[in-house]
Amino acid sequence: MKQNQSTWQIFLVVLFSVLSALIIGTALGSIDYGGNPSISTYLGMFLAQFFIVVPVILLLKKNNLNIAKSLRINKVSKKVLFYSFILSIGAVVISDEINILFEMILPLPDSFSQLEDILRPDELISFVLLSLTIVIIAPIGEELLFRGFLQHYLENTWKDVTRAILVSSLFFAFIHFNPYWIIQIYLLGILLGYLAWKTQSVLPSIIFHICINGTSLFLTTFDDFVERIILWNGHIHPIIILFGIIAFSFGFKNIHTSGAKV
């Protein structure tokens, strides 16, 4: 019973971290209510993602626990980092095609155009804040929170890696509050969870997450130009898909073999 209670406390801490970050972002973003997104919106996003792991760090310090060890911030070899990067490139290609297929079945609502507007700021400082938030701060904070803290704790508590990855990935998918991409996010969460467990470090999953977010931002910013290059009859070009499958297979195979070797 005590173990179950502590597990629920961990979930509550993660939920509190997410909701606190959401409140911070919403509070600053509300300044732009009724108008186009301005610097306050992007500053809010930046601070929210920066804050998301703060409650966890305070909890670890309060309990006199080693922060780096508790969040699985461990060194890995350069080969593992390289294989993680190759794996992420392949995953980007495959996930983009999956997104296209899903949108054919369940088209995105018009309200999502507002999200695209936020991802295309007019001011340089806003674009810098947006890029830092999406490409750097968010991947680091979310990986520390979900793979470094939550999944790591569940692995040690439940003694069931598969269950820990599946549950933490489900929580990860739901906190994105995006029902149209929840399956894709969940699948990516499982892959991120596997990376963190197999290498016993959040560094590979952070690299993976950075590549996913960075590519998404790039495609959104330069969609017209990129689409002419990578699309073929409304889908990712078959040659690019083949390249993605090869890159994914190569990276995954070597990560699985290399594991946590430094």
C-alpha to C-alpha distance for 189 and 186, rounded to whole angstroms: 5
Do the Cβ atoms of 135 and 214 come closer than 8 Å? yes
pLDDT digits (tens, 9 = 90+) for 12-70: 999 999 999 989 888 877 776 555 677 888 888 899 998 999 999 999 999 899 999 99
**19 phi, psi to nearest 5 deg:** -65, -40
What number of helices (H) and strands (E) belong to the chain?
14, 2
Instruction: Return the half-sphere exposure (C-beta side, CA atoms, 13 A cut-off) of residue 67.
Output: 12
pLDDT digits (tens, 9 = 90+) for 78-112: 999 999 999 999 999 999 898 888 888 877 776 66
Q: How many domains does the chain have?
A: 1
In a domain, 64, yes or no: no
In a domain, 135, yes or no: yes
In a domain, 6, yes or no: no
In a domain, 102, yes or no: yes
Domain that residue 220 falls in: 71-258
pLDDT digits (tens, 9 = 90+) for 146-204: 999 999 999 999 999 999 999 999 999 988 777 777 888 999 999 999 999 999 999 99
In a domain, 40, yes or no: no
In a domain, 211, yes or no: yes
Of 235 and 35, which is predicted with more confidence? Answer: 235
In a domain, 18, yes or no: no
**41 phi, psi to nearest 5 deg:** -65, -45
| 235 pLDDT above the threshold of 50 | yes
